[in-house]
Amino acid sequence: MPSPVTSPTGHLAVPVSTKYPRVPVLRSSASASSITILIDHKETDEIHPTRNPQASRDESLTHIAPPNSAYVSGETSPALGSLNQVESGAATTTILAGPSEKAFVVHTDLLISRSPYFKQIHTQQFFDSAGLSPSCANLCTSFTSHDTICYRDIDEFACALLVRWLYGASLAGPSDHHSMLQHLCLYVLASRFGIENLQNLVMDQVRWYYRTANVTAPSCWLEYIYSATPGPNKMRQFLVATAAYRVMSEGVLSGGLKSTLAKGGEIAIDFIQAQITNMRDGTRDVRRGNDCFWHVHRESRFCTNQISEVWHQEQSRNRG
């Protein structure tokens, strides 16, 4: 994790991470509530047509959430007051997101209770300022100061979704190409901050969208998720597996996927591994099946009753 440092403006600034390269930024229009996706997207043969390319920046919060997600109703964060009505004297943290340094004010206790990343930052800050040993970090439970931390390399729209979710707002699933980008950016952010429940919620919703829209990952999404995350993760595995499934089903590589695989690297290696798995176990549609397989549970509890497809029930019995 990059160490926060004080910027010339007095803010606690986190250097651009070498593990998390700059992500495509969603910018709001100066004259309308629309966004511009700053990503070179030339491939359209694998993407479901969008409903409205000028969708509202808050669109992903207003759609009905997908069914059968283990996290839609029960895994939002406890609301510790309104976003606009911070209790007097309550410790808060201001996150400055993106090149524009858009400010998001969050209760510090809420932030550190949901994010191991922020807990580590605030704990280290506390003991550094007090001149105490970090070995006593487990004694630190709350903070009374106001901190401002700057992340110029994160997406401000994803940060807005994160804060809304922290305060109990339901997160609806993606509905088109535009909102899919928002969810991938949110997954990257949740992964970076170690918020497993949010990672798992986004994964459930992405799989639901891919399943119901009958689409697979285009090469641009593969390149994005591999460049925006530092190593193997469930979203990488899922997206590359959908691409492999499409190739096995149709027997042809799209032009975009050919170009991506020709570059080599981790994408090509993981794609080959996904094809080996298909040949060994039989071609399976990874958009269906056990939700929990695609979740992260390093700290959070494991799911229950996650068998959602007949073929997976049969597979589980055969392996039993």
Is residue 242 assigned to a domain?
no
Is residue 246 assigned to a domain?
no
In whole angstroms, how far apart are CA 206 and each of 4, 132, 155? 32, 44, 18
Q: State yes or no: pLDDT of 16 exceeds 90.
A: no
pLDDT at res. 311:
35
Is residue 69 assigned to a domain?
yes
- What are 194-229's pLDDT values in tens digits? 999 999 999 999 999 999 999 999 999 999 999 999
Q: State yes or no: pLDDT of 306 exceeds 70.
A: no
Is residue 90 assigned to a domain?
yes
- What are 225-273's pLDDT values in tens digits? 999 999 999 999 999 999 999 999 999 999 999 999 999 999 999 999 9
Domain count, the chain: 1
Orientation of helix 234-250 relative to helix 219-228, angle to 10°: 160
Angle (nearest 5°) at CA 168 between 89 and 286:
140
Is residue 277 assigned to a domain?
no
Is residue 281 assigned to a domain?
no
Is residue 251 assigned to a domain?
no
pLDDT (mean) for 77-106: 73
pLDDT at res. 70:
34
Which has the minimum average pLDDT: 93-102, 228-237, 276-285? 276-285
Orientation of helix 265-281 relative to helix 255-262, angle to 10°: 110
Is residue 84 assigned to a domain?
yes
Name the residue type at position 253: L
Output 128 or 234, whichever has higher pLDDT. 234
Domain span holding position 171: 5-47+56-215+288-319
In whole angstroms, how far apart are CA 297 and each of 191, 198, 208? 12, 11, 20
Domain of 10: which CATH number? 3.30.710.10
- End-to-end, the C-alpha distance of the chain in Å comes to 41
